[in-house]
Structures are given as structure tokens and as C-alpha cells.
Amino acid sequence: MRKYFALPACFAVSLLVTACATQTNPNFDKAQQNVSDLQNHPDARQYAAIETQDAVSTLEEAEKALNKGADQSKVDHLSYLADRRAELARQTIVLRTAEEAYESLPEERARTRLKARDKEIEQLREQLNAKETERGSVVTFESVLFDVNKADLKPAANSTIRTLAEFLNDNPQRKILIEGFTDSTGSDAYNLQLSQARADSVRHALVREGVEPDRIDTVGLGKAHPVASNDTPASRAMNRRVEVTISHDEQEVPSR
């Protein structure tokens, strides 16, 4: 039986911004809400106690920086880290819940498949900072890998492309959905066009590395589904990205 760390009962108390704070920050508010939701998750203590505590501690750092009037970029950065660590905790809950479910099955083949999948997911997380979601494993190409208003990948992306292509070629049963995103500046039509072009650019790069083109779908979603507010340059940069979602086994990646 798998053992997990338990949290003290007081751990579930939601974080609140100190009453004397007058500053507001949308990225901090978003991270605070996500960490609070994580704390209220019924499985957080059992399956992701350490990961959840990491998210809480980082949010506390962001709160202290906000209350002390630190630079907005520092608050944004700490808020982003807290949000990502909350996401990692949620991924851990999903993964360990699935592990426990599979371990209760008598079929050895199911256990073997799960172990192989866990190993592959861990490989992606270590090499490409992938995150596990219900739709699949997600690898993100951030805005720094594209010039402003351009769709061509910079040379800095080559290493990630090669590593991702190697994984995909070693797992030919998996499908791929590439989604492009922009910030909220510019017209909707332009953002859709640019996000589609960037998604296609990543697809072409993977095909050049030997990935079968019929395994890959692309879509440009423009400013939809932001991961941060669009109020600062730093938060807008977070929203300018391309996400590569890799399916679980041979199933298609569900659309949003």
C-alpha cells in the first residue's frame, strides 16, 4: 500500500492577504485562488502534501513581497511560481489517484502499462518541464522562443524540439495537439492568425525530426485561455505561448 505524508489539520486554512495591504495584483489574486482551491481539494493531504506545502510557502513569499511594496515584477514572479507549484500538486494528485486505482486491479498488464506511462511522464517532466493534465502531457513553448509578431521558432527551441521529437518517435501510438496562444493586444483576427502560424511552425519542426504528420493537429486560439492577466508586460509574455499536448496512449487529445 502506497504511503503519503499527512498534513496537520490547520493546514487547510486558506491564506488571506494581510488586512493592512492596500496593493492589488491580478497575478497574485489568481495564484491565491488556485492555492486556496488546492488546499480545499479533498485529496491534497493524502496524495500531495509536500507539493501543496511548497505552493503555500511560495504564495506566502509573494504575499510578503506585495505587502512590503516590492517591485511588481518580483510579485508577479513569485505569484507565477506559486501558481505553477499549485498546478504541480494537482498533477500529482491526478497521477497518484490513477496509480492507486490501477494498483487495485488484478490484471498485471494494467500495472505494467501504468508503470510504463509513469516513466514516460516523468521523463517529459524532467527533460521538458511537462505538466500532466486530464487531456494529456503538456509541453509549453514560451514567447522567448519567437520574435515579436513572428511565427518562426528561434534556434534556442531546437533542443526542446529534438527532445520532444525523440519522445514522440519512441511512442508512436500517441497523438499530438499543438495549440497557439497570444496576449490580448492586437485584433482578434490577427491574434488568431499569429497563434495558428506559431502552432504550425512547431508542427513543421517536429515533422522535420521524423514525427509522422498525420499524428499532429494544430489550432490557433488567439487570446483565449490566458494563464495570467494581460495587465503587465511580464504577464502578457506568459500568455504568448504554444502548448503541445501529448495524448494518453493512442486516444486523440480532446479539444478545449
Q: Which of 67-71, 175-179, 237-241: highest mean pLDDT? A: 175-179
Q: Is the pLDDT of residue 16 over 60?
A: no
Structure confidence at residue 5 as a pLDDT band (50, 70, 90): very low
> Rounded mean pLDDT of the chain?
85
The answer to whether the beta carbons of residues 198 and 192 sit under 8 Å apart is no
171, three cell numbers:
511512442
**Nearest to residue 198, comparing CAs of 181, 217, 183?**
181
Structure confidence at residue 65 as a pLDDT band (50, 70, 90): very high
The whole-number pLDDT of residue 105 equals 63
Structure confidence at residue 14 as a pLDDT band (50, 70, 90): very low
Where is average pLDDT lowest: 19-23, 26-30, 128-132, 235-239?
19-23
Query: No. of H helices and E strands in the chain?
Result: 8, 5
| DSSP structure class, residue 187 | -
The CA distance from 165 to 211, in Å, is 6
Structure confidence at residue 23 as a pLDDT band (50, 70, 90): low
The CA distance from 54 to 59, in Å, is 9
What is the rounded average pLDDT of the residues 32-56?
A: 93
Where is average pLDDT lowest: 13-22, 51-60, 185-194?
13-22
Specify the higher pLDDT residue, 130 or 32.
Answer: 32
The whole-number pLDDT of residue 122 equals 73
Query: Could you report the per-residue pLDDT of 97-156, keeping only the tens digit for each?
Result: 888 877 766 666 666 766 776 776 676 667 678 888 889 889 998 877 887 788 999 898
What is the rounded average pLDDT of the residues 169-179?
A: 92
Count of CB atoms situated within 10 Å of the CB of 204: 14
Q: Is the pLDDT of residue 236 over 80?
A: yes
Q: Is the pLDDT of residue 73 over 70?
A: yes
What is the rounded average pLDDT of the residues 166-185?
A: 92
Q: Cβ neighbours of residue 15 under 8 Å, at least 6 residues apart?
A: 32, 35, 36, 56, 59, 60, 63
The CA distance from 58 to 77, in Å, is 10
The whole-number pLDDT of residue 100 equals 80
Question: Selecting from 3.40.1010.20, 3.30.1330.60, 1.10.540.10, 2.60.40.10, what CATH number does the domain 118-256 have?
Answer: 3.30.1330.60
The domain limits of the chain are: 16-104, 118-256
The whole-number pLDDT of residue 243 equals 95
Q: What are phi and psi of 10, to 5 degrees?
A: -70, -10
Query: Could you report the per-residue pLDDT of 177-227, keeping only the tens digit for each?
Result: 999 999 999 999 999 999 999 999 999 999 999 999 999 999 999 999 999
Where is average pLDDT lowest: 50-54, 93-97, 108-112, 175-179?
108-112
The whole-number pLDDT of residue 111 equals 67
